[in-house]
Structure 1
Amino acid sequence: MNTLTPFHLLARLFKASVLDSHNSFPKLLPQAFKSIEILQGNGGAGSIKQINLGKTLSYLKYHIDELDEETYTYNYTLIEGDALSDKLEKITYEVNFEPTSNGGTISKMTGKYYPKGDYVINEAEVKVGKEKASAIYKAVEAFLLQNPEAYA
């Protein structure tokens, strides 16, 4: 998944969608996120967070593997929750926010799925997950564009 946003939003987008996601996501997307809790750590690398959802899934728990505010890099592993069901051991994600040559910012997200046994990954489900992630970043971007002082 790649999403292009204006360059001046790079640091603000990283702050809102990564560093402060436990506050910003439930505020900006209450229909999708009931709450996000830091269960262990301070929110940085090594921390464990739990996302409490609503309708179709109840929760997701993930471990923050790497968080680098200088390179705008965020890697995490989904370790528990409804999205894994009994078919997946874990899912790892690499998220990078990078400046582009035309003055914009691109956010790149790559996921790696670790199936249990001989389960075959359903590409349609992966696509739906990518679309949901893209919608979250677009909602954060829209908020930042409408509120230039937020996360400045």
Structure 2
Amino acid sequence: MGVVSYDSEITSPVPSAKMFKAAVLDSDNLIPKVLPQAIKSVEVLEGDGGPRTIKLITFGEGSQYKTMKHKVEALDKENFTYSYSIIEGDVLGTTFEKISYEVKITASPEGGSVCKNTSKYFTIGEVDITEEKIKAGKEKASAMFKAIEAYLLANPDAY
């Protein structure tokens, strides 16, 4: 098994506490609302939203994937950190054992937020992950973050 890791960073004018609440704590409800073409639904299969919670994500009509399960690894509401892993689903294919994400949202000097994300791809055997695949993953994560940001900017009283 190999591990391929990459980091990304996205800035937003939305304050960090508000962004964390929307993008992490209420993502099960918000993401299907702001990106219905990507995510149709999120269902908690076991747990209470904290560590060891298992969620079933059903993709939208426009997605090439059907479903995936992800497991919450860690959640720190005071420090705005969140870790989870995709543990099942056609998103993994025959290439990946799992994909893990570590997210930290911090305050920016301008009053907004900075979202730092580390993604780790755990491959089955020796697999070469191309720069194109990494770029595509970064673009999807950025689009999701920007969709949440747009919703929060358009709905300043939300959260």
- TM-score normalized with structure 1 length: 0.93
**Alignment equivalent of 1:89, drawn from 97, 104, 110:** 97
Q: Does 1:103 align with 2:111?
A: yes
Partner residue in 2 for 1:15: 21
Q: Unaligned 5+ residue runs, structure 1?
A: none
Q: In 1, Cα distance between the equivalents of 2:25 and 2:53? A: 12
Compute the displacement of 1:129 (Å).
Answer: 1.1
**Alignment equivalent of 1:42, drawn from 42, 48, 53:** 48
Q: In 2, Cα distance between the equivalents of 1:108 and 1:12? A: 16
Q: Unaligned 5+ residue runs, structure 2?
A: 1-7
Bigger relative contact order (CA 8 A; separation at least 6) = 2
Q: In 2, Cα distance between the equivalents of 1:37 and 1:92? A: 19
Q: In 2, Cα distance between the equivalents of 1:53 and 1:78? A: 14
Letter aligned with residue 2 of structure 1: E
Partner residue in 2 for 1:66: 74
Compute the displacement of 1:87 (Å).
Answer: 1.0
Between 122-131 and 29-38, report the one with greater CA deviation: 122-131
- Residues 63-108 of structure 1: per-residue CA shift (max 9 Å, x gap): 1000111000001111011221011111111100011233331001
Q: In 2, Cα distance between the equivalents of 1:136 and 1:66? A: 21
Partner residue in 1 for 2:148: 140
Partner residue in 1 for 2:5: none
Compute the displacement of 1:123 (Å).
Answer: 2.4
Q: Does 1:116 align with 2:124?
A: yes
> 3-state DSSP class of the match of 1:145?
helix
Compute the displacement of 1:9 (Å).
Answer: 2.3
- TM-score normalized with structure 2 length: 0.89
Compute the displacement of 1:34 (Å).
Answer: 0.7
Q: Does 1:51 align with 2:57?
A: yes
**Alignment equivalent of 2:10, drawn from 3, 14, 19:** 3
Compute the displacement of 1:122 (Å).
Answer: 2.4
Q: In 2, Cα distance between the equivalents of 1:34 and 1:107? A: 24
> 3-state DSSP class of the match of 1:34?
strand
Give the total of aligned pairs.
Answer: 150
| CA-atom RMSD in angstroms | 1.2
| Runs of 4+ that moved beyond 2 A | 100-104
> 3-state DSSP class of the match of 1:110?
strand
